[in-house]
Structure 1
Amino acid sequence: MHSPTPARARISVIGAGPGGLTCARVLQRHGIAVTVYDRDPGRDVRDQGGTLDLHADNGQHALAAAGLLDAFHRLARPEGQEMRQYDPAGTLVQHHVPRPADRVKPEIDRGELRDLLLDSLHPGTVQWGHRLVAVGGPPRGPRLLHFADGTTVESDLVIGADGAGSRVRPTLSPARPAYTGVSFLEGWFADVDERHPEIAALVGPGSAAAADGDRGLFAQRNGGNRIRVYIIQRLSPDWITASGLTSDDTLGIRGRLSTAYAHWSPVMRKLLTDNDGRYVHRPIFALPVPHTWAPDPTVTLLGDAAHLMPPLGVGVNLALLDGSELALALAGATTVDEALRTYEQAMLPRSVRTATLLDGAAEHLLSADVPDFGEEMAGMGEGPA
Structure 2
Amino acid sequence: MTASVKNRIREKEIAIIGGGPGGLTLARLLQMKGAQVKVYERDLSQASRVQGAIVDLHFDSGLKVIEEANLTDAFKTKYMVGADRYRLLDPAGNILLDDGNQVKKIGFGDPDFRPEIDRGSLRDLLIDALFPDTVVWDSQFKEMREIDGRWQLQFTNGKIATADLAIGADGYRSKVRPYLTSIEAQYSGASIIQGEIDHPETICPEIYRLVDNANLMVMGEGRTLAVQPRGDGGLTFYIASMLPENWKETSGLDFDNREQICTYLVKTHENWNPVFSSLFKTSAHFVFRPLSYYPLDQRWATKGNLTLLGDAAHLMPPNGEGVNLAMLDALNLSECLTSAGYSSLQEAVIAYEDSMIAKAAALCKETVNGIRDFASPTDESIQQMITMLSGQTME
* Residue 314, structure 1, aligned to residue 314, structure 2: no
What's the % identity of the aligned pairs?
35
- Whether contact under 8 Å (2:171, 2:312) holds in the other structure is yes
- Whether contact under 8 Å (1:186, 1:281) holds in the other structure is yes
Report deviation, 1:173: 1.4
**SS of residue matched to 2:24:** helix
Residues 264-322 of structure 1: CA distance to partner in whole angstroms, max 9, x if unpaired? 12123333x24342223333222222222222211111100110010010111000111
Query: What is the match of residue 165 of structure 1?
Result: 173
- Whether contact under 8 Å (2:198, 2:284) holds in the other structure is no
Gaps of 5+ in 2: 391-395
Size of the aligned set, in residue pairs, is 374
**Higher mean C-alpha displacement, 324-333 vs 6-15:** 324-333
Q: Which amino acid is the alignment partner of residue 358 of structure 1?
A: T
Query: What is the match of residue 381 of structure 1?
Result: none
Query: What is the match of residue 27 of structure 1?
Result: 30
Change (3 A) 1:375 1:80: farther
Report deviation, 1:163: 0.9
- Mapped partners of 1:278, 1:77: distance in 2: 26
Report deviation, 1:191: 4.0
- Mapped partners of 1:70, 1:88: distance in 2: 41
Change (3 A) 1:174 1:292: same
Residues 3-52 of structure 1: CA distance to partner in whole angstroms, max 9, x if unpaired? 98111011111111110000001111121111111222222223312110
Query: What is the match of residue 217 of structure 1?
Result: 225
Query: What is the match of residue 144 of structure 1?
Result: 152
Report deviation, 1:341: 2.9
Residues 149-195 of structure 1: CA distance to partner in whole angstroms, max 9, x if unpaired? 44443321111111111122122211122333322222233444454
**Higher mean C-alpha displacement, 224-233 vs 68-77:** 224-233
- Whether contact under 8 Å (1:192, 1:227) holds in the other structure is yes
**Higher mean C-alpha displacement, 14-23 vs 218-227:** 218-227
* Residue 302, structure 1, aligned to residue 309, structure 2: yes
- Mapped partners of 1:127, 1:242: distance in 2: 41
**SS of residue matched to 2:83:** helix
- TM-score normalised to the size of structure 2? 0.86
- Mapped partners of 1:166, 1:120: distance in 2: 25
- Whether contact under 8 Å (2:188, 2:293) holds in the other structure is yes
* Aligned with residue 102 of structure 1, among 99, 107, 111: 107
- Mapped partners of 1:58, 1:284: distance in 2: 23
- Mapped partners of 1:322, 1:32: distance in 2: 17
- Whether contact under 8 Å (2:101, 2:389) holds in the other structure is no
- Mapped partners of 1:85, 1:70: distance in 2: 32
Query: What is the match of residue 234 of structure 2?
Result: 226
Report deviation, 1:374: 8.4
- Mapped partners of 1:59, 1:167: distance in 2: 25
**Higher mean C-alpha displacement, 276-285 vs 289-298:** 276-285
After TM superposition, the structure 1 = structure 2 runs for residues 68-87 of structure 1, keeping only pairs within 5 Å, are 68-87=71-90
Query: What is the match of residue 61 of structure 1?
Result: 64
After TM superposition, the structure 1 = structure 2 runs for residues 1-385 of structure 1, keeping only pairs within 5 Å, are 5-95=8-98, 96-98=100-102, 99-103=104-108, 104-137=113-146, 141-235=149-243, 242-271=250-279, 273-333=280-340, 335-366=344-375, 367-368=377-378, 369-373=381-385
Report deviation, 1:377: 6.3
Report deviation, 1:241: 6.3
**SS of residue matched to 2:260:** helix
Q: Which amino acid is the alignment partner of residue 312 of structure 2?
A: A
Q: Which amino acid is the alignment partner of residue 102 of structure 1?
A: G
Report deviation, 1:100: 4.3
**SS of residue matched to 1:81:** coil
Structure 1 vs Structure 2 CA RMSD: 2.6
- Whether contact under 8 Å (1:291, 1:306) holds in the other structure is no
**Higher mean C-alpha displacement, 90-99 vs 143-152:** 143-152
- TM-score normalised to the size of structure 1? 0.88
Change (3 A) 1:303 1:198: same
Q: Which amino acid is the alignment partner of residue 382 of structure 2?
A: V
Change (3 A) 1:213 1:180: farther
Report deviation, 1:221: 3.0
Residues 232-276 of structure 1: CA distance to partner in whole angstroms, max 9, x if unpaired? 2334567566544433422211111111111112123333x2434
